[in-house]
Structure 1
Amino acid sequence: MAKIVTVVGATGIQGGSVVRALLNEPSYSIRAITRNSKSDAAKALAANGVEVVEADINKPDTLVPAFAGSYAIFAVTDYFEPLVTHGIYKSMDLETEKGINLANAAASTESLQHYIWSSLPDSHQVSGGKIVVPYYESKNRVDRHIKSIPHLLSKTTFAWFSWYAGNMNYPLYQPSPIHSMDGEKLYVQLVGASSSTLLPLMGDERTNVGLFVKAILEHPEKTLPGRIVQGKIEQMSIGELVATFASVHKIRAHCLQISEEDYAKIYPIWGDVLNINHGYMNNMGTKAFTSPDQEVVTKDDLGIKGLVSTAQAFATIQLLK
């Protein structure tokens, strides 16, 4: 009998990638958790043979029956969805609450053998207490909760998925067009950090997240108990990202550093959060996606094949007008 893999956020970026990676695997039966089983996205999943179950991560009593019978659960929360409405710190509290709801429901699922929790590095620990990235910390609080439940920790893999190539779809990262004196179109990316700031890259998140999760499930001897899997396939500076994007699209583009204050004025709230993240990346460099007290499992350790690079993913992104 196929093992039930329950996917939270199955209509989103990470969850959708997991569904696509596992859908045609005969050893797994996919169950999608959604707030609205009648949405077009949910109907599309059902049409592809996915079991669609309605549950709400804000309502713990709906999660327990939705998880029942699961062999594995992929759990993810979204810090950024309520950011503009609720602000930086309330969004942290909301995400932590949702993550704890998921963990508690998973802990009560008797059939569960593998819990994959989408988290991020402990920025406070890595930086020696100097920098706390809000959307890292809100997930880290959930990490600590999971670690307080020994029988759940023994079944948990902490998956860290790094910078998406798809982030280049947003004005925060994609170079914007300007015009030169001779009429030639130029592109400029404004950022409140040095162009030499290194970013750990996931490549094409639509494909690669699912490939990582598939490998995590296939290699429990490497990913359990309580191991960290580093979802990173390459690393570039912000300047190199812009140059790569420009090369792929055959445009002239420049990365221009502005002050953090101006960046936050241009992109209210979002700029404040990213200033903290960029500062963390700039200060920690190659250590940003590591743990000071625990080894991380890499793509090479898992032997993952078919990963799509950042440059390949950039080719599918349309230029901003």
Structure 2
Amino acid sequence: MATASEETELESTPREHSLVARLGAEFLGTFILIFGGIGTTLSAVQQTGNSLSVALGFGLSLVAVTILFGKVSGGHFNPAVSLASAIAGRVKWLHALYYVVVQVLGALFAGLVLFVIFNSLPVFRTQSSTGGGIGTVFQALANGFETSSPNQLPLYSALLIELVGGAVLVAVVLAAWRPSVNKAVAPIAIGFTYAVLILAMLPLTNAGLNPARSISVVFFSSGNALGQLWVFWVAPLVGAALAGLIYRGFVVPEGDSGKKPAAAEVDSVELADADEEADTEEADAPAPAKAAAKPVPARSLVADEPVVDPEAKDFFDGPAKGSAGDKK
């Protein structure tokens, strides 16, 4: 039978899911995120859509998967977030590595499914004057710099914008999942931050921000996206590491594992139990013998005689004496 302290610890901290469940959530969540985001982008390319539809596709997909799996795995779906979470003390380093592996696998699987689907469309299957060829389309979706950038962004600028964007996104994720923050607003805050960053960075690098997203299309593109992939891994990871270090050093110095508050609550409960036990022992202890009652003087047992006022006595006795004299 669990003790009171153990029951309090279970109630004060959410029950941790198994590692298999968390890895499965990260795989499915990353798959849905990439499928929704890249799928929206491919549809926008076919229908000459604008950047807003692409940003909303990624942002709303992130909102959805965060609602679905956030309470299971922590809602990473991004190797940069997993790195920062390990630095912040939310997950073990080895588990963070497992997270990254399944995130990459989920992203690649989503890219493969989209490649098969869109390659079956005639407009993407054959080359034409209006574009076409699924490899060319995936190349246009890949993150890049210089000649592969929509606006010929140089390498150092690409590194800087991806580093800053990755740090901002990770900082919002860390803050949104703090124990003191309302968990209902976390998915919305994270998803819309992601959408705004994508909207700002699409004309520059095609908005990497997530190494899993960057790797999801490079193996299906026909250009040099694979050769530039390192930028979109290094920069977001460095930005995430900086955000995690700042968060750990200045915001939550003791880390975000959630164990310390629970331990404090357990200690308070143990102290309360100890006080309660002490009170119970004191109540159960035999009462000390009462002091012997003081003997009551015999005089006190007899009712005291009433005090007679002399004047009143003379008043009542006077007429009696007078009448006796008259008789004489």
> TM-score category by the smaller chain?
under 0.3
Query: Which protein is richer in helix relative to its size?
Result: 2
Q: Which has the higher contact order (CA 8 A, sep 6+)?
A: 2
Highest CA radius of gyration, 1 or 2? Answer: 2
When the two structures are superposed, what TM-score results if normalisation uses the length of structure 1? Answer: 0.25
Query: Which protein is richer in strand relative to its size?
Result: 1
